[in-house]
Structure 1
């Protein structure tokens, strides 16, 4: 890896800060109170460059039980952990609690560092090492190497650095393909720069000039400057410790636990679906609706536990549950979390997020439990399919990547499997690839067919239903791209046709029945008896005996070229309009211009009809008014 975050963990006064200083030359205890009390209270950070050029950011966490929140904030971004145990005291209460947290957060790469080697005999050191092996046997650090060092004499420090380099070489890097997520763990103000926050970049990339959103409050900001361990940079990638100089936001608006992300990526929620595991060391079962402290990323909040398939969860058990969170929280699928008792505070469990913005569930519902099981352990194909059939209907590939937390390779592999089994439809709309489940598409198609059939029955003279009407009636929450993709898929399937801005069943043909044909004949007769002085349209409607169908018939006759609307109430037959154009055009070609009075005489009409007709001809650019005359356009 080019860059990795290594964190410390362990009981108070076991030498974590001294170890970090021996490795890096930097004292991470920066606060006055830390100096006075001789213990770490806040997170400390120090850079280290190994002999192979690897840049390491070391996070030094407090060991005192009162500062577990700070410790959790530090562990959240670790790639590799150094579990520090003092040789003269061996495993202590906070050693075990920190180890539980490491296990719950699945920090799988680590080294056990036994410090203060110079204070004990060799035989005692052997006993401590055996005890450590027993303690880590059932945890993620079961295969972690154990090394004894003395930060005071320097014994073992070179070997520790070599071991760090070796472990880092096999530590998988954080993915840079995802979207920006940066949990805030510190904030401060710098003279001349303003508001600065720090954190370990969980995903994606952050650049100078980026517009960002600070969640869950939804604050808008801009990245003014960036630093990675004191070096000014233009961008930073997942896995790096970053200091971000933010514009347009006040220091008082920020706090540990917030998340910097791209606008619109995360949704604050009061409900999260999770798989919860209770530690075997938990003192008692956790009952339904118990109030707990929830730690996710660098955030701490209170939540009620809604157990979905039982009344209590016993130590050592796992189950699906929904956290009912007292303050809005943001997260993403596969994020790890820790829970502690409300009071007194002890770490009792943790687990993994399944849905960070979940709907409310009723308990003991097999369908809910099956859905959560799929989202927890399903293959990429199963996860994608579940997303498509549970109300998402049509989603883009980037949306799937964000919601499921899958890599692009996994998504493409999953889609290929589903496509091979004819279970999904793929469409490209305006350069964006979207996907829909075949069975969902079929259901929506059946509903749309029925809607169009009813429309054609009520409006047999219309070409089809306006696109926007179909979208608003069937897909009110869809954006234009989604709806157009659905129409394209439907057209490709052959059951609809799209004519300009209207949609019709492919089998539909506009056809006037005998009664309508009779009425249209009567309309033409009324208008052509005196073609240049026709009755106004309301009078035509009255004489022919039309009702609600009048507007439909008029629109149809205009569309097929039988009539032309000249003004709101004045309609000419197409034959009369063409004849008027012929006469006026011929007159202007002979005389050069024509006046309103001359048109009136030419057509044997009156000003009431001639003026709207000439304005119509001006509008369609047949004639052009010059003072009180008309010329050909």
Structure 2
């Protein structure tokens, strides 16, 4: 069933609360102070049954200037507004400010209610009606019905209820497929149950028993039970006023301005990229880095306005800006917000969120403005593509959904379209799939090919670039697992070759100059002719005439990598042919005898203990021999 939230708006003491009580039978003034002063301070809540069968929740917001922030906490989630104007006073300052807020939040469905008609004569009422009509000109409520009522006599109430019912019937049902989000507007404790948080569920669904995270913090609590319109429910849907009983937390752990949502479904941020309209009624131009009060959902946060392309924003102008917040907030794309000046406080602008989790941008960059314009006006596919292009990493569906505030279904459709059109690439893994924009993937390919080419030029004797060093230097945003996925892709497409712990250009072979070949031949000859008493590497280097240690090390690494030399132990290297000869002689020994002593090997190879002992330890490791006491017997490879 479709769920409707009706909100009241208007100047203090213009009869909003009395009107709601007449429509619903509920007095929304809960506080003693409100009763005594006759004005609403906190938000009030009620519900009414419409003739069409729908149950509409009603948010009664305070009208006094001092309580505007409480009004903003309640107006964000409404579908239909009742703008209340008293017949005996007409349009007043808070009437104007409330309409400006309604305009900024783009609440374009509503009824303008002229209350207290019993206090004025027909001529006065006609004048107020005409003034109101002019007041609404060129606003979102320009075509709204204007209905005069009296809460005392009941006159006009049937017409008002009928108008609300007709509008409600045409309101589009909110989607329940998006991630659940409930901005908290009230918190209290109920004896025997504990902490209760209320708010309007602006997207998704909440079920009894599931866990919700309190954003922007990390506290997670289980939903013990829920109430909608005073009745206990197991499932709450978007568009409903919901009271959520949370287990395991105190009232101090949650407050107005927090958002209840599924764990890890939102990403709190200190920055928001937004489309911003500065009101014509603002008292002066808005300067770059002006400190303001930002109202989003039920939260009020101090922040600064970062102007990208100018030093001042004039009254009535629109701009793409970044809101730099003093505390984090959990928001989603297309959320509406309102901005009030820091001091004195008055509504000066507002707009919609384009990117709820942006990077810090450099000012006076034309491409930033163009990107934000595209993101604001483009489709979901355009937005996802732009985000992938601007964020060079591997993304999961879960991560994208959380960051961009889209439903999983919408995200899946966008990613499918982008991959089909080859604007994005999908990497299927055993766990969660990864996505990257085609543009970023091409940049990565160019980067890794360039890095490998430079490396091969600098180290021509090496087989490839050490994998972890390559990742940390050029792809630090990727985990080791993600980097391996990327390497597998490039290897499959014959761009690179992976060799254990190193990476090379596809089919790369070390390029040896004539001089290098001659030096390598010298090294090999030294180790071949020395047989079972090889020199140390420094001694061999001295015989070749090489002076630079780094160059000498390159030759050693190459010979080891090619398998020409084998490291027996620290500082001792055998030529592969010599080592094979030694192993062959050991095998022949075991054909004659079942045991081999250190002295026998020393005599067999005509070498010294210095080389015979490390050689036996090497054959033990390779399972060619097996130590039994001070002797060796044939290992697994010889049995």
Alignment TM-score > 0.5, same fold: yes
Match of 1:77 in 2: 77
Contact 2:296 2:336 in 1 (8 A): yes
1:423-442 superposed matches below 5 A:
424-430=423-429, 431-438=432-439, 440-442=440-442
Cα deviation code 1:484-523 (max 9, x no counterpart) = 4544554455432333443211252234444444344433
Secondary structure of the corresponding residue to residue 219 of structure 2: strand
Matched, 1:142 2:142: yes
Shift of residue 469 of structure 1? Answer: 1.7
Cα deviation code 1:158-211 (max 9, x no counterpart) = 665565454334323444444454333223344455544333333445564536
| In 1: Cα distance, 2:344 partner to 2:281 partner | 15
- In structure 2, the CA distance between the partners of 1:407 and 1:256, relative to structure 1 (3 Å rule), is closer
1:4-153 superposed matches below 5 A:
4-48=4-48, 50=50, 54-87=54-87, 89-116=89-116, 128-149=128-149, 151=151
Match of 1:295 in 2: 295
| In 1: Cα distance, 2:364 partner to 2:550 partner | 54
| In 2: Cα distance, 1:623 partner to 1:179 partner | 64
TM-score by length of 2: 0.83
Cα deviation code 1:343-382 (max 9, x no counterpart) = 4433233222344455566665544443443333345565
- In structure 2, the CA distance between the partners of 1:310 and 1:457, relative to structure 1 (3 Å rule), is closer
Any stretches of 5+ residues in structure 1 without a counterpart?
Answer: none
1:506-585 superposed matches below 5 A:
506=506, 508-529=508-529, 531-546=531-546, 547-585=549-587
The Cα RMSD (Å) is 3.9
Paired residues in the alignment total 628
| In 1: Cα distance, 2:393 partner to 2:266 partner | 19
Shift of residue 591 of structure 1? Answer: 5.1
Any stretches of 5+ residues in structure 2 without a counterpart?
Answer: none
Matched, 1:387 2:387: yes
Contact 1:178 1:401 in 2 (8 A): no
Shift of residue 294 of structure 1? Answer: 2.8
Match of 1:227 in 2: 226
| In 2: Cα distance, 1:358 partner to 1:385 partner | 15
Match of 2:614 in 1: 612
Contact 1:291 1:341 in 2 (8 A): yes
| In 1: Cα distance, 2:587 partner to 2:127 partner | 113
Secondary structure of the corresponding residue to residue 185 of structure 1: strand
- In structure 2, the CA distance between the partners of 1:631 and 1:418, relative to structure 1 (3 Å rule), is closer
Match of 2:318 in 1: 318
| In 1: Cα distance, 2:58 partner to 2:68 partner | 18
Secondary structure of the corresponding residue to residue 267 of structure 2: coil
Matched, 1:279 2:309: no
Shift of residue 267 of structure 1? Answer: 4.0
Secondary structure of the corresponding residue to residue 29 of structure 1: coil
Match of 1:632 in 2: 635
Shift of residue 78 of structure 1? Answer: 1.6
| In 2: Cα distance, 1:627 partner to 1:195 partner | 73
| In 1: Cα distance, 2:214 partner to 2:587 partner | 65
Cα deviation code 1:95-143 (max 9, x no counterpart) = 3322221111112232334445666667766665554444333222234
Secondary structure of the corresponding residue to residue 518 of structure 1: helix
Match of 2:257 in 1: 257
Shift of residue 5 of structure 1? Answer: 2.5
Q: Which moved more, 1:610-619 or 1:600-609?
A: 600-609
Cα deviation code 1:31-56 (max 9, x no counterpart) = 22122223221112234455666453
- In structure 2, the CA distance between the partners of 1:472 and 1:306, relative to structure 1 (3 Å rule), is closer
Secondary structure of the corresponding residue to residue 294 of structure 2: strand
Contact 1:13 1:63 in 2 (8 A): yes
- In structure 2, the CA distance between the partners of 1:555 and 1:130, relative to structure 1 (3 Å rule), is same
| In 1: Cα distance, 2:311 partner to 2:465 partner | 53
Contact 1:427 1:485 in 2 (8 A): no
Contact 1:429 1:484 in 2 (8 A): no
Shift of residue 74 of structure 1? Answer: 0.2
Shift of residue 480 of structure 1? Answer: 4.2
1:400-479 superposed matches below 5 A:
400-405=400-405, 424-430=423-429, 431-438=432-439, 440-479=440-479
TM-score by length of 1: 0.84
| In 1: Cα distance, 2:388 partner to 2:497 partner | 25
